[in-house]
Amino acid sequence: MESPKILSCYREEIALEVSRVLPKGEGRLDEMLRYQLGWSEDGLPNLGKCLRPSLCLFASDALGGARDATLPVAVAIELLHNFSLIHDDIEDGDLLRHHRPTLWQVYGRDPAIAAGIGLWTLAYETLVAAAEQGVPAGRVLEARRIVNDACSEMIEGQHLDLSYELRSNVTLADYLKMISGKTAALIGASLSTGALIAGADAAEVKGLGDFGRQLGIAFQIRDDILGIWGEGSATGKPVGADIARKKKTLPVVHAFQQAVGPDRELLRAAYAKDELDEQAIDDVLGVLQRWNCRYFAQGLAEDHRSRAMAALAQTELLPATARRQLDELTSFILERDY
């Protein structure tokens, strides 16, 4: 499936700005930051989807904002996202990201923790540089508040995610609270800050933020589906990876809530093990299939897509072309295979 225009039209500008703000020194820490951002031999980062910075720039463009003024905020959001990925990979024990070894696998766990903190501080230095592009100080301060609140939610969501691995009684409400922070908060903040830097009023900023949060929930649910059934060649992770890590992603949460009899006992036994072997993973996959967990998850993602579009309908200033592009993006997110 072809990526929507939102995910392609800003990539070069984002990569150039990331290249500009990343440290160029010879030290190990500088090298690690460049590695995390996919630094290539020609000096330009090979970034991931660029969803969050692209949404920030898109919202600003659609509302008449200046690209140069918004770019530092968009790149700061991408750096903060990568800070979270570094620490998530360590905490989850992930060995691959974007089809290459994770930072902690290459440089070690403790150095990678320090690199994540380094990206955090660099992100805030980059964000306040928007003032140098003529953005009023009040808007820069408010953008910082929005992003910082989102980061606080993101960290709390990651904490909940890790704690759920030790529980068998995670509810759908628990799960939605977790992903609303871990994934959706920063996506919502991306659109909110883009609208804010463009000079939109509080109602428009909130409306786009609400759209982004619902989009983020749908995005994470689709990630959960891919984390179990996605092809490794597309996702960069082995099939069943989330089950092997005993992650309480949506399909598993649904199975624990719905399965009865032998299937429920099988789930309990599998997730009580210290490590799940291939047979245990196959057993869990069988339970998920029998209880239609994949279809339930996709249906819930569609529901949050509808909620996102309902929030978008409450905004007043976006032109029709921008609304169509966001609609295309939501469709892509729910159908993507990576």
Question: Does residue 334 belong to any structural domain of this protein?
Answer: no
Residue 336 belongs to a domain: no
DSSP code, position 249: -
* Residue 276 confidence class, pLDDT cut points 50, 70, 90: very high
The closest alpha carbon to 289, from 233, 329, 331, 243, belongs to: 243
| Predicted local distance difference test score (pLDDT) of residue 236 | 55
Q: What is the reported pLDDT for 19?
A: 94
- Whether the per-residue pLDDT at 239 is higher than 80: the answer is no
Does any domain span residue 193? yes
212 to each of 20, 51, 66, 196, 294, how far by Cα in Å?
A: 28, 11, 21, 14, 23
pLDDT at 305 over 60: yes
Residue range 208-230: mean pLDDT, rounded = 96
* Average pLDDT estimate for 205-224: 98
Structure tokens, 334: 């729910």
Predicted pLDDT at 232: 65
Does residue 333 belong to any structural domain of this protein?
no
Number of domains in the chain: 1
- Which domain covers residue 50, as residue numbers? 5-328
Over 90: is that where the pLDDT of 322 sits?
yes
Residue 240's pLDDT band, with cuts at 50, 70 and 90, is confident
Provide the mean pLDDT of the chain.
94
Q: What is the pLDDT of residues 62-108, one digit of tens each?
A: 999 999 999 999 999 999 999 999 999 999 898 988 889 999 999 99
Q: Is residue 206 part of a domain?
A: yes
pLDDT at 234: 53
Could you tell me if residue 73 is inside a domain?
yes
Confidence class for position 320, pLDDT limits 50, 70, 90: very high
Q: Mean per-residue pLDDT for 46-63?
A: 96
Residue 211 in any domain: the answer is yes
Q: Is residue 335 part of a domain?
A: no
pLDDT for the residue numbered 237: 62
Mean pLDDT of 299-326: 97
Q: At what angle do helices 67-92 and 137-164 cross, to 10 degrees?
A: 20
Task: Give 40's pLDDT tier (boundaries 50, 70, 90).
Answer: confident
Query: CA-CA distance, 119 to 123, in Å (whole number)?
Result: 6
Q: What is the pLDDT of residue 71?
A: 98
Looking up residue 257, the CATH number of its domain turns out to be: 1.10.600.10
